[in-house]
Amino acid sequence: MKSIPVLHVEGETLALAFENALVSLYRDGIRFKTQYDKPGDPASIDATMNITVHDPLAEPMIHMAFPGGIESLREYVMEVQGFKDHWVKNLNDPEDTRWEYTYHQRLASYGSWQELRGGKQVQSGSFCVNQVEKVIRKLVDQPYTRQAQMITWMPNIDYDCYDPPCLQSLWYRLVEDEEGVRWLNCNVRFRSNDAWGASFMNMFGFTMFNKEIIAAEVEKQSGLPVRLGRLNWHADSYHIYGKDIAEARARLFDRIATSALEDRTMRFSDEIIQEIYREAEADVVRKIKEYDETH
């Protein structure tokens, strides 16, 4: 085969769209090696994938086929909203083992990085742009704009980065219905998206980011109601690593024919799920504090 397949799926809810994407990838993707394979690992399954979620907040919202629980979702949402931005390492300190970036840091402080000067950590860069604020302002001033986008890729850093950002851009536009409600439509592009190990948390995290950060602030500043419209998720490389294929078969692919959708999903609005989600925040804050004390 000379071409990477381009696959298109959709679903009314986040959970259903995610499952449809995994099934489509497993059925129609091609085998590919990666630079992260260990000796003996099977080839990954890969494709270019476009996923449309028509109603990201509709139930059932959560799919059980992701490596983690409700606490993991809460932690990822907090990470996307900036709770771990201070974990970004000094780029010129070879002994600093912290992260090379966070998505929120790239969105809210684009153009900047951490480095050491005279033994002190400083923020460097010829410019620093808070893209989150600018996108919100764009949408308030011109809801029909085609210019409300944020990017993460920094060519001066990322071509030499071992693990550069997978998320590349977010693009927004508002559509107003007959009742005057504005619906926030969003396109998200990933250059690389681990379908089994990360993509559900990515999709859930940015759905909550769009709801709690972008839509909420546009509504506050404009004084007009804003709700989440469709989410379009594009991954240049949507893949299941070879080492994960057996687990994916056991937990999902081999179960679909003999189980109901409600047995593979959860309702985020259920009281017990909401309680676990709320209580997880304190544990995440404590985890971050413990990490800070040892790093």
117-172 per-position pLDDT tens digit: 655 666 777 689 999 999 999 999 999 999 999 999 999 889 988 889 999 999 99
- Average pLDDT (25-33) is 94
- Please provide the average confidence, as pLDDT, over all residues in the chain: 93
- Surface-to-core class of residue 266, CB atoms within 10 Å of its CB (0-12 exposed, 13-18 middle, 19+ buried): middle
What is the pLDDT, as a whole number, of residue 268? 97
The domain made up of 6-294 is a member of CATH 3.30.70.1450? no
238-274 per-position pLDDT tens digit: 999 999 999 999 999 999 999 999 999 999 999 999 9
In angstroms, the CA 188 to CA 6 distance is 16
In angstroms, the CA 51 to CA 135 distance is 23
Helices (H), the chain: 14-28, 70-80, 103-108, 131-141, 155-158, 199-209, 216-222, 245-248, 261-264, 271-294
Give residue 8's Cα distance to chain centre: 19
In angstroms, the CA 239 to CA 42 distance is 13
- Average pLDDT (24-36) is 92
Bridging pattern class, strands 44-53 and 62-63:
unpaired
In angstroms, the CA 17 to CA 45 distance is 18
Retrieve residue 255's tokens: 């179960």
- Would you kindly state where each structural domain of the chain is located, as residue ranges? 6-294
**CA distances (Å), 288 to each of 100, 198, 250, 274, in order?**
17, 20, 33, 22
What is the pLDDT, as a whole number, of residue 117? 62
Question: Which DSSP state fits 58?
Answer: S
Q: What predicted TM-score, i.e. pTM, was given to this entire model? A: 0.94
